[in-house]
Chain A
Amino acid sequence: MESRENVHQLKKSSITKSVGSVLVVGGGIAGTQAALDLANSGFHVYLVEKSAAIGGGMAQLDKTFPTNDCSMCILSPKLVECGRHLNIQLITMADVEKVEGQAGRFTVAVRERPRYIDTEKCIACGICAEKCPKKVDDEFNCDLNKRKSAYVKYPQAVPLKYAIDPETCIYFKGKKGKCKACEKFCPADAVDFDQQDKVHTIEVGSIILAPGFQSFTPDVPPVYGYGTYPNVLTSMEFERILSAAGPYQGHLLRPSDQQTPKKIAWLQCVGSRDLLPGSHGYCSGVCCMYAIKEAVIAKEHAHDDLDTAIFYMDMRTYGKDFERYYERAKNEHGVRFVRARIHSIEPSAQNSDDLKLRYIDEDGTPYDEIFDLVVLSTGLEISDGVRKLSETCGIVLDEDGFAQTGCFSPVATSRPGIFTCGAFAGPKDIPYSVMEASAASAASAALLADARNSLTQPKTYTDEVAVTAQEPRIGVFVCHCGINIGSVVDVPAVRDYSKTLPHVVYVADNLFSCSEDTQHLIQEAINEHNLNRVVVAACTPRTHEPLFQETIREAGLNRYLFELANIRDQNSWVHQAEPQKATEKAKDLVRMAAAKVALQEPLDRLQVPLNHNALVIGGGVAGMSAALNLADQGFHTYLVEQKEELGGHALNIKRTWKDEDAGAHVTEIRRRVLDHVDIEVFTGAKLIDVIGFVGNFTSEVQTNNTVRELNHGVAILATGAESYQPQEYLYGQSERVTCWHDLEDLFTREPERLQQAEAVAFIQCVGSREPDRPYCSKICCTSSVQQAISLKTEKPDLDVYILYRDLRTYGQREELYRKARELGVLFFRYSLEEKPVVEQTTVDAKEKLQITVRDHVLGQPVRFQVDYLNLATAIIPKNSEELAQLFKVPLNEDKFFLEAHMKLRPVDFATDGVFVCGLAHYPKPIEESIAQAQAAAARAANVLAQEFVEVEPIVSEVDQDLCIGCGLCEASCPFGAIHLVKVAGQGYRAENISASCKACGVCAAACPQQAIDMIHFRDRQIVAAIQAGGAG
């Protein structure tokens, strides 16, 4: 489709109606992601943050579930990228005051409060804070310690600029004109007490609201003695205690006496699933997982000498890899799970700071148990400030205060052109917030496609220093990674050892090497010490290499003069129990990296032409949504569906959990797809082959007996999933036993069946959460509860039973659970060990099913008869293996596609240019599938919006003087990237075709003459690392 290029040109040159910039409100992980996606696909972004630095709630977390990644470590590169991005303008300490206009062209007034520090002058030396005499509570550390009135929000803050808090500053609060210590001592003359409010009037095409949540505060009225007993904490306070940058430097201590606790309890659902005034009826969706994480991490801190107990109602571990995390916590880490609601908390004795918890267990036995520390798993809620923002923006909130959205437009607010993402649009975890952020950026980009690249500018760099003729001068930066490395490895020892290595002329250690200030330190060191090679000994190149490469490039060094010694993922994390050996190994790894980097050469990236078409595989609601968004953004899209009809599983759904007509929406999406000029649909079609790489894929699609070759720059995998066909509970033996939506369909087809029925039952977790399928299928609880409600509504005298293990109506779906109980639906809990028994029987000559289940309240088997039984069976992957092989992308243990990073790259693969969405990634409801599809489209558009693809210059290289023309390389290359050519007077010699080279290095390893080498993985570079490794 060469004509596409012309269309792009046309769009660029025609008069744009929309404004090519976007306002993002809120600098948490959602806002940051949305800003980056937009800025990287041709839009200018204003990122408005109310506090002094971006980072949001994620910056306060210690670790993240289910990977136990260090939160700051994975967040920091994004914050730094945001801070240094040419097309993102950060406006901190600011609020939106007025919004006028409409989709495509809004005029927004943003009021920036004075920081009293000139950010142009501030060098973040910290002297103002050091000299400031006024100590105040540090809100970033949940008031557990003090900061000064002159402060920086947190050590890795972006922007790393100090601020003076006028609410507590002696100059402002005391007698005017007094103090000014900060001004006196500031070496940069940056303090400016005369700063006033600044109002920015900005023009934007769309607005993304990502203001986030606030933690429920359990003090008014006081819950469980919070605020009275010093050792009752909120979960966010506990996160800060665990954090290396927290009030106790990462030591597990309790506030009352700073002693190490031996016994900690977590109380779930504080402020959530609670109808008491001040609390919220909804489930906050994240607390079960974070409580498990906190318990596991606390045990790690205490080296297992710690008893942890989580008191809960339903364990809601419904996300990808969550159930495994729960099982591991229970079975491997020994976290206790107690299904009980705590009745009361009081001091264990007079003058004691220990706490006595009173509760009644499932059997009705009362217990008193004493704990040193109690953590309240507080929920998420919307703050008054955010409600005011919503009013300013003129958008509708739902009854819980969250932004109102629909399942089929999950990131659109009630006002066109204003989008939302993250916890503001309903309680949710980080991956889903990141997905929504990308989705909101996709929605904005589709709206403003005609203004793409109209307001952005390209990044330029200073010239590179010529290093080839120089002796290597290596700088080594060893990272503590908070306590991730520092608590195991003796970092100063590794730093000092590095100094003794050949060519190493500069060494340093840093608390977080990825923070913005460390980037400046590295750049300063490069300039001051004329470094021409850099080693960072830290986490993993997988997430952090690009960040450091960019840092050294900005300082004038070529990106490839860099090595990352992996002393966290491949050392401190995996040798936690052997700190001494880990320290020695860290030295070995630094030595190997230094030996290798000394031999690295500067390389130039190659620019390869880019095909601007997209291929989407799977024509369900996810695939269709992805295709629609890409096409709306102006990219020609091929949509391939195996079945004869578009629509997928969504066609079976009658109403969404928000009570929308699913069929009507799916039909509308299908119509839009089929009518779109930029979408080519292939139904009854199958992908049979794929070759190429990002920007340049060629696929073969077979329809009937014809094969069509498609060229595309990106691919989105949206192949969906299917439901498990059960063997159990008489399925297939009795026509009265059905699955999923079959019972609804039966009653629609034959209404007399429902009229005659007296009782209906649902069994949950059929085939899910079993040893050989240890994951939760996420949507089944909501589906059965929804069906039960509609049955009860239609026929109130019908007995409806739901047999479940944990009722997982997460988030605002909790309202459905409450409604079902109100309508008289009966819930029986069963355990994996004692599953219900279903038998055929006859009552009064009527055919019935008899169900026996052990009731958890009575402790007795309960027996009842029903007319129909509907099974909520597992959602299982469909043909994922075939596609995984074609695209060379990985699957997880359950055969769902495995994304590049569970937390922050939820739709990307490690392979560039390939993305995933919908059920192929993991079971999920429609609105999450659509958000994920739009997110995949946004990430794909990041690639397609570029003029060309930049590829690594890492290819093989023939030295024709050494070549003897044997042809082994040509025979070994699977890509035809090396061949023999006739050289006059010499016979045959090998020659590279660099554009086809995939850089596997097979030819270099095969060459008997060592005439072939691989750039950046040269034989001498690998051997240097091997030798250095053996030298220890």
Chain B
Amino acid sequence: MRLSYPANVKIIKVPCTGRVAIAQMFKALEKGADGVFVAGCLEGDCHYQSGNLRARKRVEYVQEILGQIGMQAERLAMYNLSAGDGPRFAQIAREMTEKIRQLGPSPIRTVKSRASQKPSVEVAA
């Protein structure tokens, strides 16, 4: 479909969002991403039955901790969409980028290096 979305979104392929460990989400934020979203199948449509539900729980847990340590919890998000729904993926990528742009560079990045010209978002799909 070649629907355009912002070039700062980079995708990390995983077999199922159930594979995304809590530490991996932290790692992404720690290592340079200003935002992370986990893109799973629609609820009820998980090829592995419930991986996406577990992913959501883990995302919510990490969001809670992010809040506690003074990072905006919105830097992390969970979305559910069907593999056939390209337009929605592009829309989410735009939405997420816009949200992160408003939040500005991640505090971790600002601390680690003063250079922060562009927001970057990582996706696990």
Contact = CB atoms under 8 A, between A and B. Distances in A.
Interface string B86-116: 0000100000000000000000000000000
Contacts, number: 129
A966 to B, nearest CB: 16
Interface of B is mostly: loop
Most buried by B among A67, A574, A972, A1010: A574
A584 B6 CA distance: 13
B69 interface: no
B27 A1023 contact: yes
B14 interface: yes
B54 A582 contact: no
B27 A574 contact: no
B55 to A, nearest CB: 8
Nearest to A570: B11
Contacts of B19: 1000-1002, 1004-1005, 1014, 1017, 1022
Contacts of B45: 885, 888
Contact of A1005 (B12, B18, B46, B82): B18
A20 B7 CA distance: 53
Most buried by A among B15, B23, B51: B15
Nearest to B85: A893
B70 interface: no
B24 A566 contact: no
Nearest to B4: A574
Nearest to A584: B7
A972 B53 CA distance: 11
Interface stretch (A9-17, A345-353, A429-437, A585-593): A585-593
Nearest to A582: B7
Contacts of B28: 1026, 1029-1030
A68 B2 contact: yes
A1014 B15 contact: yes
8 contacts: A566-B11, A592-B12, A888-B45, A1002-B50, A1006-B54, A1026-B24, A1026-B28, A1027-B31
A1001 B32 contact: no
Interface in A981-1007: 998-1002, 1004-1006
B84 A892 contact: yes
A974 interface: yes
B47 A1005 contact: no
Contacts of A891: 82, 84
Given A974-B49, A1000-B18, A1001-B18, A1030 B7 contact: no
B14 A1001 contact: yes
Nearest to B49: A974
Interface string B16-39: 101111111001100111000000
Contacts of A888: 45-47
A566 B84 CA distance: 18
A11 to B, nearest CB: 36
Given A974-B48, A1031-B32, A1022 B10 contact: no
B71 interface: no
Most buried by A among B18, B23, B83: B18
A885 B10 CA distance: 29
Nearest to A586: B7
Given A1014-B19, A1029-B122, 9 more contacts: A574-B90, A1001-B14, A1005-B24, A1017-B15, A1025-B12, A1026-B24, A1029-B32, A1030-B31, A1031-B31
Contact of A885 (B4, B23, B44): B44
Contacts of A1029: 10, 12, 28, 31-33, 120, 122
Contacts of B6: 575
B20 to A, nearest CB: 6
A1010 B27 CA distance: 15
A577 interface: yes
Contact of A1026 (B44, B46, B122): B122
A576 interface: yes
A554 interface: no
A954 interface: yes
Interface in A800-857: none
B79 interface: no
Contacts of B18: 1000-1002, 1005
A948 B84 CA distance: 31
A589 B10 contact: yes
A654 interface: no
A448 B54 CA distance: 50
B10 A585 contact: yes
B10 A1023 contact: no
Given A68-B2, A577-B4, A1023 B24 contact: yes
B84 to A, nearest CB: 5
Contacts of B14: 1001, 1017, 1022
B84 A574 contact: no
A303 to B, nearest CB: 13
B33 to A, nearest CB: 6
A578 B97 CA distance: 16
A751 interface: no
B84 A575 contact: no
A574 B11 contact: no
A1030 B83 CA distance: 25
Interface in B39-90: 44-51, 54, 58, 82-85, 90
B10 A1005 contact: no
Interface string A549-588: 0000000000000000010001101111110011011001
Contact of A974 (B1, B50, B58): B50
A1002 B10 contact: no
A885 B41 CA distance: 12
B12 A1000 contact: no
A218 interface: no
Given A574-B3, A574-B4, A1030-B33, A1002 B16 contact: yes
A898 interface: yes
Nearest to B36: A1026
Given A1001-B18, A1017-B19, A1026 B12 contact: yes
Nearest to B16: A1000
A578 B4 CA distance: 10
Given A581-B7, A891-B84, A1030-B120, A1002 B54 contact: yes
Given A998-B48, A1027-B27, A1031-B31, A1005 B21 contact: yes
Contacts of A1026: 12, 24, 27-28, 31, 33, 122
Given A576-B4, A1029-B122, A1001 B31 contact: no
A1019 interface: yes
